[in-house]
């Protein structure tokens, strides 16, 4: 159920201001998760999300970034033994 409604706008830099009434329980520097569908953007306090979901979202972000780099040709080829050896050193 929706408790409050407010209107804001997006700046030329893509920034939005959360109206004062809507941010009364947010602390400076608090992390927010942004969920987007075709027609909706939802902000959710990261502190209320289970740690596992937060880890999953971070993994998904890093995986997407890795695929982008791979598609650009930014990767190296090596044998499985070399890969495992390098992995064990990390």
pLDDT at 28: 92
The 10s digit of each residue's pLDDT in 36-90 is 888 888 888 888 777 778 787 888 888 888 888 988 998 888 888 888 888 888 7
Asked if 55 and 69 sit in the same domain, the reply is: yes
For residue 55, give its domain range.
50-90
The 10s digit of each residue's pLDDT in 2-16 is 567 888 999 999 999
Asked if 90 and 54 sit in the same domain, the reply is: yes
Asked if 15 and 36 sit in the same domain, the reply is: yes
Q: How many folded domains does the chain comprise?
A: 2
CATH number at residue 23: 2.10.260
Q: What would the DSSP string read from start to end of 14-82?
A: S-B---GGGSTTPPTT--EEEEE-SS-EEEEEGGGS-HHHHHHHHHHHHHHHHHHHHHTT------HHH
Asked if 72 and 42 sit in the same domain, the reply is: no
The 10s digit of each residue's pLDDT in 18-30 is 999 888 889 999 9
Question: For the whole prediction, is pTM greater than 0.85?
Answer: no
pLDDT at 3: 66
pLDDT tier at 17 (50, 70, 90 boundaries)? very high
């Amino acid at each position: 159920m929706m408790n409050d409604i407010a209107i804001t706008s997006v700046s030329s830099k893509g920034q939005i201001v959360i109206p004062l009434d809507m941010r009364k329980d947010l602390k400076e520097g608090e992390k927010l998760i942004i969920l987007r569908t075709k027609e909706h953007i939802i902000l959710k306090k990261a502190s209320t999300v289970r740690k596992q979901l937060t880890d999953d979202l971070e993994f998904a972000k890093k995986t997407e970034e890795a695929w982008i780099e791979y598609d650009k040709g930014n990767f190296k080829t090596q044998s499985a033994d070399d890969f495992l050896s390098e992995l064990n050193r990390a």
